[in-house]
Amino acid sequence: MKTNSKLAVIILILGSFASAGQINITPKPAEMITKDGYFRLSVDTNIVCEPNCKIQAEKLRAYLQPATGFDLKVLSGQETSPGSILLKIDSSRNELGKEGYSLDVSKDAIRITSPDTAGLFYGIQTLRQLLPAEIYSDRLAGANWKIPCVTITDSPTYPWRGMMLDVSRYFFDVDYVKRYLEMMAMHKLNVLHLHLVDDPGWRIQIDKYPLLTQVGGFRDTGSDTYGGFYTKDEIREIVSYASQLNIEIVPEIELPAHCQSALAAYPWLGCSDKQFEVPTKCYISHEILCAGKDSTYTFLKDVLTEVAELFPGKFIHIGGDEVKCDRWTKCDHCNKKLKELGLKKHTKLQSYMTLEIEKFLMTKGKRLIGWDEILDNGLAPNATVMTWHRPKTAVQAAKAGNNVVMALTGHAYFDTPESKLPGEPPAATWLAPISLQKAYEWEPAPTALDADEKKFILGAHGCLWTDRFMHNPILQDLSTMDENRSFQYVDYLSLPRMAALAEVVWTNQDKRNFNNFTDRQTIQYNRYSAANYHFRVPLPNVEIAGPNSSKYTVTMTSPVNNAQIRFSTNGTYPTAYSTLYIEPITINDPQKISAITVVSKRQYSLAFKFPEDKNSKFSQYGEMIGQWKSGKISAGTYKPIQFDATGRIDKNGDYEITFIYTGGTQRLDIEKVEIIVNGKVIATDKHYGTTGGTNRDNVYKFNITKYETGANYTVIASVMGDTGNDSNGVVLIKKVK
């Protein structure tokens, strides 16, 4: 074992030297020419700049100081001197665009030039990636601070490169928002969409309507009260910080739906004047703003006036998604408005409201953006569409001459897990997992558009919804323990998929390659570690050869530079202390091998296992949603057992739930099965069924007609062991049509 440990150390050291000579930049630059030699960063290095880019020079100085310990001087000047870093605005380089840059590293000096400060900032981000990964640490690091000589010419493909952070369903303080902004800047993203308003919380101070935060900013009662909001000064602090990182903050003020928090504060905003509470669970509320009252529009204009004053950017997001119009059909005010406008459908009232708000925002120098439902009943002429679940809306909007941002559920909803592997944290299940490869392999501009129409596709947008915090209290911080588990959760879901999104929107499609991307990520993960980001560690790369004389040879490589691989060969789940992988393994049964990538004793991947035989004897009955076990059921008396079907019920249609006995001395008797959505029974099949030595009526059938996106679906079955509790089995669900 001593020999193996020494060999492992040698391998890690050699891996470190090998990676030091490579250049790994994410997102991948447009053009790069490598040269011989290095520039050595030292305490004597100066940063030279003109007054018009001193903010960027000070930012570079702040980036370099913690890890190096070098307190570099920022000097005024227009040209490099030996051992200096020059930042220069060069108006003759307009071909680069506002966010493009040129970076030239020689043995004597470094030059970053751009026609705008935005491009200089991105040149600085690339320069950081040319240094050892330790440069991202906030502590002194003993690295060799040399920068390879290179010439890079670079600019982004799309002008909109964004992320959405949902702070309504779970509130993140200013410090975390700043942390998230730095994470985005590292990847050259330039738009943070803050989801400030939704049913479960109103998160922005509005002076004219103080109850929006006093009442709408909090949910539940007593010791369970949860909430918070940003004061205007805190919003200004976030906006100022983002500006230094070339990031525009786009606030979202939802209307006319997803705003029950506002109705709880001011009931007169609704159609019925009924008093509401701020929801404690995530669901699609039918309570929406009244479209017929003039007071509704006065309220919205008052709110948006204060919002527009706080956010200097061009866009204000108004939501517009998932509007249930049934309250409008029964409302005297809405019916009167419908008649006044000469409209035939109540759904048209949303289009009227959107158009009114767009005209108002234009008087404030702002542009309206909303989810793709704003297309459905007529699109406001200058509105920007954020396409999320219907890609055809992007084509429709672009062909009409409206700008589009792509935030597709199939590629960019990062609140979904990356896989279905055991150990993934609770995440959205109404969508299929979005792997790193799926987050990478897509193009924002639809192929159905011609070259001129594609110009209306501004870019793409990753979304991180936080409704899981409402359904899984284990994700929430415990204030008594001064925790940051919520930060770690959002980090984990964001990284490394944020890097994939960044390359999609920055790098031209013909220069993108997933295998090349993952090769560069081996070093990017080291940067995440240095920055103390809690990223999702990738599984080991595992290959198998054989069988040869009934034996298989398994070879593994680490997807993270300098990380270890630990494994087991007896079917148990490996830990950070399991056997260290050093050389190929010979094994009789590949199903018993399991391996993890270990970055540290506290951070490691989920386990790699070879997939089981898909020809399962139960596959014809669908996917397993749970099982019952001996000793865990009632004997002789019907009692409920519960299973989570969220994600398995994913649309309207007919479903079958089947109970199959697998072992034990007693059969299982079933009295009835119910499907529950957010605590409400929506479907029941009540009949006597059994499963044991033989099966009798053990299939339960349901028709789902009002599927709710994002809702929790629970199956509750009333069961018992016929004469005892020694029974085992599985419960499966299948969509039949």
Q: Annotated active-site positions, please?
A: 198, 258, 322
Helix 497-506 and helix 514-530: axis angle, to 10°?
130
Q: Contact, 284 vs 709, CB < 8 A?
A: yes
Strand partners, 202: 197
Structure token pair of residue 427:
């995440």
Residue 57's H or E segment, with its range, is helix 54-68
- Cα 660 from Cα 100, distance rounded (Å): 61
Q: Half-sphere exposure (CA, 13 Å, Cβ side) for 303?
A: 28
- Cα 283 from Cα 680, distance rounded (Å): 11
Identity of residue 70: F
Q: Contact, 2 vs 31, CB < 8 A?
A: no
Q: Contact, 370 vs 318, CB < 8 A?
A: yes
CA dihedral for 217, 222, 226, 227, sign (positive or negative):
positive
SS (H, E, C) 273-302: CCCCCCCCCCCCCCCCCCCCCHHHHHHHHH
- Cα 532 from Cα 690, distance rounded (Å): 53
Strand partners, 541: 557
- Cα 287 from Cα 103, distance rounded (Å): 54
CA dihedral for 298, 304, 307, 309, sign (positive or negative):
negative
Phi, psi for residue 311 in degrees, rounded to 5: -115, 110
Classify 401 in phi/psi space as left (phi over 0), alpha (psi -120 to 50) or beta.
left
Q: Half-sphere exposure (CA, 13 Å, Cβ side) for 88?
A: 19
Strand partners, 165: 194, 464
Q: Which residues contact 622 (CB under 8 A, 6 or more apart)?
A: 648, 656, 658, 732, 733, 734, 735
CA dihedral for 521, 525, 530, 532, sign (positive or negative):
positive
- Cα 485 from Cα 217, distance rounded (Å): 22
Distance of CA 486 to the CA centre of its chain: 13
